[in-house]
Chains A and B, each alone.
Chain A
Amino acid sequence: MSTRLSPTRVALYVLLVLISLVYLIPIYMTFITALKPPAEINLETAWIPSRHLYWASFADAFNRMFPNLRNSLILTFFGTILSALLGSLNGYVLSKWRFRGANLIFTLMLFGMFIPYQIILIPLFQTLRNMHLYGGLPGLILAHVVYGIPITTLIFRNFYVQIPNEVVESASLDGAGFFEIYRRIVFPLSWLGMVVVVIWQFTQIWNDFLFGVTLTNHEWQPITVALAYLAGGQAVQWNLPMAGSILAALPPLLIYIIFGRYFISGLLAGSVKG
């Protein structure tokens, strides 16, 4: 199986390297543009890096986006944790507790995943305002948690379906109730499912722009709005938004690097078949 340096093996590595280069092209472009002074940014010389690396873009972008970094971190942290918890509980109920209409409820929940966000923007705004939640992070977090319920429930439900019913049955025969079973059996087994959910929700919430810009006041806007600001203006100085996007992409990238392999294991452990 692991024959070294056979022609197929070489071909494999060549293919991988070539494809990797293709994947890296956009990153390359982003980096060299971020490192150019504005006057040098031109379609003609787009591929050619600047002679002198203009590191000021990163410092400048960082300074401008910094206040929003706090907002994004709080938003994403709480949004992800809350969606994960809610999804886990929902998934537990829908996979281990049969009752009439459970399937219907699951379908209806799932359907919520598929709405495009532009449709519900105005009613969402009005509703949050009526709830006195407009303007700050709690309202935004609520919006993300609500629209994250379908996907997190789906992931956890498929994950928990893998837990054999006998385990749950025997626990309840021992006298464990609803919450004990969750606490002692289901929750400790959720690690991989959590990873998938955390990665997915973190990415979604961190990268969201539309909700972030509409539902919050100026001081509570997330980092995506600051990024759009950098790319605004009459004559965009592209080194700034390019540097800004690199910085803004670091936290999700970090999450992917650290948890990437668990993502795959998590998908294997159950969400895959769903």
Chain B
Amino acid sequence: MRFMKLATIILVTIGLLALTGAVFADQKKLTGKLEIFSWWAGDEGPALQALIDLYKAQHPDVQVINATVAGGSGINAKAVLKTRMLGGNPPDSFQVHAGQELIGTWVVANRMEDLTWLFQQQGWMDAFPKGLLALLSTDKGIWSVPVNIHRSNVLWYIPANLEKWGVTPPKTWDEFLQIAPKLQAQGIIPLALGTTWTAEHLWESVALSVLGPDKWDALWKGELSFTSPEMLKVWDLFGKILQYTNSDASSLSWQQATDLVVNGKAAFNVMGDWAAGYMFTTLKLQPKKDFGWEASPGTDGVFMMLSDSFGLPIGAPDRDNAIAWLELLGSKEGQDTFNPLKGSISARLDSDLSKYNIYSQSAAADWQKDTIVGSLVHGVVANERFMDGFATVMDMFLNSRDPSQAANASEAIALQSGIGK
């Protein structure tokens, strides 16, 4: 009898150990494929590749397919992704701007899995700032894992040139409007601008400076009308600022606009902080010494963010592999591997800042303490239908410079796209 009991205990223990071993082995040993869809190409490639290498080290039996679609300012990638999704062939995970670009397109269409459980499991509810979490979620859940953070509202300049011309970076747009004529008199373009989307990019900094973070949020919740007096003020101010930009703006890419500043043809440029990557990596300029930055006029203390993120589509062919990918993306190691190469900063509050250059360190410091709001142009606060229509409104305004026309048109588009519903 006792022998039987002992035998049973031994057998059960062995069985339990084997089971645990099997469970653990299962967790580590992922096989199959992982298809990652993105539009990261060219100089953004190495950052993604580093993440993929990290993933392959952790899961050597998974074949990672890096399906990048470049070109067309991201529209080609959207075309391919939407064609695939409509055709019933989703990738395992795809790059998408965090916020309404994801929510307003894919979440409302019931195409994404809720990731709240993953966030809780991985401790991300505390690792990411609350402001960011709010932008990633709806009342039905959290929808994507942010890989990086870029800042939109940055003003760039070359300190040596400013000294030469006798000006300092303006703290408000009124200051800018005062020094601009002086610069023009010396034959310098006060503010460099590029093609239409960069004008929208400038617009959102201007709007933020007029509205402040609270009213900016209210606008996208539908609580502030696009035809309100504040918005008319925004368009009015924007029109005044445009007078001090270069007339050939629409033929310049954003880099060519930055080139104007670097070459001493222009004084300032408002652009996201990928400009730092461009100046640092491609043009080999040193941050703080060769190029300088400030929060764009009137937005000090506010961090207007955009974030590349990955979600989990319903029906992902290799769901476990995709979840492992998301875990890697949100981890400290993943983010601190990816972001120094990409030129952006980690979304986590516990990032290892020693790996980043001087600009990124300053941006990370701001990320910790500033008020966080979302960018319009880069898909955080408004859905794709609105952004698509707004681009036409902006092009119209660049032609006509008519504030009430632009305000009315934006209100119409906002209604059509369901902003704030």
Contact = CB atoms under 8 A, between A and B. Distances in A.
B67 A228 contact: no
16 contacts: A39-B283, A43-B252, A121-B79, A125-B84, A125-B86, A126-B87, A129-B87, A213-B71, A214-B83, A229-B71, A231-B42, A232-B39, A232-B44, A235-B278, A236-B43, A236-B255
A233 B41 CA distance: 5
A42 B87 contact: no
Interface of B: 35, 39-45, 65-72, 76, 79-80, 83-84, 86-89, 252-253, 255-256, 259, 263, 274, 277-278, 281-284, 343
A233 B70 contact: yes
A121 B72 CA distance: 16
Contacts of B68: 218, 229, 232
Contacts of B43: 233-237
Contacts of B83: 121-122, 125, 214
A125 B81 CA distance: 11
| Interface class of chain A by DSSP | helix
A230 interface: yes
A125 B87 contact: yes
A38 interface: yes
A217 interface: yes
Given A121-B83, A125-B87, A233-B43, A228 B71 contact: yes
Contacts of A234: 42-44, 274, 277-278, 343
Given A214-B80, A214-B83, A229 B259 contact: no
Contacts of B284: 39
A134 interface: yes
Given A42-B263, A231-B70, A235-B255, 11 more contacts: A43-B252, A44-B263, A214-B79, A218-B35, A218-B65, A228-B70, A229-B41, A229-B71, A230-B70, A233-B70, A237-B43
Nearest to B263: A44
Interface string A30-59: 000000001100111000000000000000
B263 A229 contact: no
Contact of B42 (A121, A126, A218, A237): A237
Contact of B45 (A121, A134, A213, A233): A233
